[in-house]
Amino acid sequence: MAVDPALSAWRQWVDLDRLTSWMDEKGLEAGPLEEAERPPGGTQNLLLKFRRGERWFMLRRPPLHPRMNGSETMRREAKVLAALAGTDVPHPRLIAACPEEDVLGAAFYLMEPVEGFNPTVGLPPLHAGSPDIRRRMGFALVDGIAALGRVDHVAAGLSGLGRADGFLERQVGRWKKQLASYAEYEGWAGPGEIEGIDTVATWLDAHRPATFQPGVIHGDYHLANVLYRFDGPELAAIVDWELTTIGDPLLDMGWIMATWPLEGRPASTSTSVTPWDGFPKVEELVARYAGQTTRDMDHITWYAVLACYKLGIILEGTQARAAAGKAEKATGDALHAQTISLFQRALSWI
């Protein structure tokens, strides 16, 4: 069978013959795989868009050498996308999943390609030319995560996705341990350069909400992980579900607050959009979320501070790896600067 030249480059990640046979078993069109392309994104996990017959598919699988259990990540993502079918949460539609590893050497799944754009890559003329459209884009971002927070995870069959009991109590200790683990990288300067690292942790433990209402959380929700419709300000899909779990959905709102540009304090480069004028202020986003949830918003600043703490520690990991020569120095320095900025933001809130 003739193979699309664009697909040949993917043979190291995708056994095309096995994939074709598996799709035959599932009744997913017929004929050769054609018009392959690698869409933007997918730096952690691999994406391949292709056509078979009259239908387009998007394949998602882990990299060849994932840092964590890549197959388990794919199984979790596929389970969540399947559970979201029929909800008002904008998401890629799951076509079929292969939880076994004997087809491609790792679990994978097929989803419907999404017609949309990521605003951090660039705005199309409609959105770039209208501050009003950009304002509605900001509110649409909140609407998407508010919709996810309303999903009944028990009824959706997602109870086993994570351990809700003690979720908030575990957070500071979990990420403090993560930070300490970076000491294994020779050359890392340590946490002493991060102003407020201990102050923020102490504050979080002292002001932790006593109770919360469990639900599905995305885990890394910001402008770089959504696609917008080309014809308006609405979300086309929330993407990159690898950190999804059961916990406190208010943390997703806190994540928006942590990554949103504030006056005099720029957002991280990964969440910046140009032009920015028109986008709502963070206080307006919080009010928008509050109008769509039954959850107690009295402690929303706590969730924003936790998001700064968690994300800052995650980003510092690249700085530690760069110090040991296992990541690009320029990347490590840039992410370290973002860590510093996140902790400055947290300190300003507490």
Segment 255-272 mean pLDDT: 75
pTM for the full model?
0.92
Q: Please provide the average confidence, as pLDDT, over all residues in the chain.
A: 92
For residue 43, is pLDDT > 90? no
**Confidence bin at 310 (pLDDT 50/70/90):** very high
User: CA nearest 229: which of 111, 126, 120, 82?
Assistant: 126
Predicted pLDDT of residue 294 = 95
User: CA nearest 189: which of 323, 343, 325, 327?
Assistant: 323
Find the range with the poorest average confidence among 220-224, 263-267, 328-332.
Answer: 263-267
Chain centroid to Cα 318, Å, comes to 17
Contact 81, 74 (CB under 8 A): no
Find the range with the poorest average confidence among 108-112, 227-231, 232-236, 328-332.
Answer: 328-332
**Confidence bin at 63 (pLDDT 50/70/90):** confident
Predicted pLDDT of residue 1 = 45
Distance CA(270)–CA(258), nearest Å, equals 13
Predicted pLDDT of residue 38 = 81
For 183, which DSSP code?
G
Q: Which domains does the chain have, with CATH numbers?
A: 5-111 (3.30.200.20), 125-349 (3.90.1200.10)
**Confidence bin at 101 (pLDDT 50/70/90):** very high
Contact 172, 309 (CB under 8 A): yes
